[in-house]
Amino acid sequence: MRNDWTVRDVGTVVAGLIFILLGAWMIRESFAMSPLGSVFPRTIAAVMIVCSVMLVVQRLYRRPAPPADENPAGESTGRRLALVAVMAAWVFLLPVLGFFTSSLLAFLVLLAVANYDGWNLRRVLVYGASAVGIIVAFYLVFVELLLLPMPRGFLI
């Protein structure tokens, strides 16, 4: 057994174990299917389990190629999580608030998440105007021109 674990190695082993479980679950589910429907899932699940076991064993015993930068200095995990959270809220609120409102809110918050340069009056005005401009342009193109039935809601 090796003892020089990197984050990537641990992640690989965890992912391998998850894929083994997924394969096992696929095989269990396949018993409820017709013979025609179950043959392919079982085959693929078997391949997935075999490859995952090999991957885990390989990681446990063999030193892999030197890993790339794990998290290069200066990368912000906080902003990544914030982006995922904002997008999750956006995706789930889309049917509730409607396209226009949810997009405008999400756009403004994402501007704040992605901006590294600090805020002054000029930047607030320029970014705010571009947010409204881009959303309105999208709305006109998709809803009015392409007649896409976007969810309606709070504002429009």
Partner 1 sequence: MEMLGYFLQALTPLNFALAVAGVVLGTVIGALPGLSATMAVAVLVPFTFGMDPASGLIALGAIYTGAIYGGAFAAILVNTPGTPSSIATTFDGFPMARRGDGNLAVTLATLASVTGGVVGGLFLLLVSPPLATVALAFGPPEYFWLAVFGLTLISALSVGNMLKGLIGACFGLFLAMMGVAVVGGDTRFTLGSHLLLGGVDVIAALIGLYCIPVIIDLVATPDPHLKVSPQGGGFRLAEALRLCWRGKWNLMRSSVVGTVVGILPGAGGSIASLVAYSEARRSSRHPQEFGKGAPDGVLATESANNATVGGGFIPTLVLGIPGTPPDAVILGALLVQGIRTGPTLFTAQGPIVYTFIFGLLIATVLMLPTGLLLGRYAYKSIIAIPKAVLVPTVAMLTVVGSYAVHNNSDDVIVMFVLGVVGWVLNRFGFAPSPIVLGLILGPIAEQGFVQSWLIGNAQGNLAGMFFGRPISLAIVALSVLTLFYPILAELWRSRTARRLEARDAK
Residue with smaller CB distance to partner 1, 4 or 72: 72
**Which residues from 113-132 bind partner 1, rule CB under 8 A?**
113-117, 127, 130-131
Question: Site map for partner 1, 38-67, x if CB under 8 A?
Answer: xxxx-xxx-xx--xx-xx--x-----xx--
Residue with smaller CB distance to partner 1, 61 or 116: 116
Residue with smaller CB distance to partner 1, 2 or 64: 64
Q: What is the DSSP string of the chain?
A: ------HHHHHHHHHHHHHHHHHHHHHHHHTTS-HHHHHHHHHHHHHHHHHHHHHHHHHHHS--SPP--SS-TT--HHHHHHHHHHHHHHHHHHHHH-HHHHHHHHHHHHHHHH--S---HHHHHHHHHHHHHHHHHHHIIIIIIS---PPP-S--
**Which residues from 68-107 bind partner 1, rule CB under 8 A?**
74-77, 79-80, 82-84, 87-88, 90-92, 94-95, 103, 106-107
